[in-house]
Amino acid sequence: MKKIIITAGGTSEKIDNVRRITNSSTGKLGMMIANELLKEKDIMIYYICSKQSLKPQNKQVKIIEINGTIDLKNTIEKILLNEKIDYFIHSMAVSDYMTDYVTNLNKIKESILKYSNIDTALSNIETINDNKISSNEDNLVIVLKPTYKIISIIKDISPETYLVGFKLLDNVSKDELIKVGKLLKEKNKCDLVIANDLSNIRKGNHIAYIIDNNIEQISGKENIAKKLVRKMLY
């Protein structure tokens, strides 16, 4: 039996116990890829997704809902360390940033006035640590820090797993999109990368470039899903 991980949808990064930073990914392509794979025999899928993501409905699919990037990282590591995964399709729109701390402009000004050195001032800004930030707070400042690059850990943990990466840019040239897709493939030891441009998706014309040893242009989510499964399994 082939065991496959698919990540889909988007992550959600906590600001406080009520508010979160997220993105608009629906997970539709991930679901379509899963449904295409399920046409094959002896397939078992771990489908890791956001709560809002579209999901395949099949007894051969184990749905695992996650929130933020740390939750995603921990889930992936646990599966890869305990299971032999044949294929990993990382279609999830993972947040590039997560909340470091929340403050406001007054607290930043107070710290700058208190300390003569700007680095010291920035390191000692008073933060807002309420479980729920008051709606009366003015001039909020949310300081972000980079999230884990999830795709970078997959081959390190499971080098024999066939890895499919996804790259999404917005309103760039075909050459630039392919160039960045190739860099993602090389840096993270992907076997295949699907590169997309958000400007095409917004127009209802989902064009993707499948990058492995060759480059192939495919149009439409259904065709992308079908072509990917053929390239992976045959």
Instruction: Enumerate the domain spans of the chain.
Output: 2-95+149-233, 98-145
- Model confidence at 76, pLDDT cuts 50, 70, 90, reads very high
d(CA 231, CA 66): 28
Residue 10: its pLDDT value, please?
Answer: 93
Cβ–Cβ < 8 Å for 50, 12: yes
Q: What percent of the chain has pLDDT over 90?
A: 87
Residue 36: its pLDDT value, please?
Answer: 97
Cβ–Cβ < 8 Å for 7, 90: yes
CATH match of 2-95+149-233 with 3.40.50.10300: yes
Which ranges in the chain belong to alpha helices (H)?
A: 28-37, 69-82, 105-114, 118-123, 151-157, 174-188, 198-202, 221-233
pLDDT at residue 201 tops 90: no
pLDDT tens for each residue of 90-112: 999 999 999 999 999 999 999 99
Mean of pLDDT values over 164-175: 95
d(CA 200, CA 186): 25
Cβ–Cβ < 8 Å for 52, 63: no
- Model confidence at 136, pLDDT cuts 50, 70, 90, reads confident
More confident residue, 205 or 76: 76
Mean of pLDDT values over 73-78: 98
Residue 126: its pLDDT value, please?
Answer: 94
Q: Which residues 6+ apart lie within 8 Å of 120 measured at CB?
A: none
d(CA 93, CA 111): 36
Residue 129: its pLDDT value, please?
Answer: 78
Residue 200: its pLDDT value, please?
Answer: 83
pLDDT at residue 205 tops 90: no
Torsion on CA atoms 81, 194, 64, 27, rounded to nearest 10:
170
Q: How would you classify the pairing of strands 207-211 and 192-197?
A: antiparallel
Cβ–Cβ < 8 Å for 39, 81: no
What is the CB neighbour count within 10 angstroms for residue 196?
Answer: 21
pLDDT at residue 33 tops 90: yes
pLDDT at residue 123 tops 90: yes
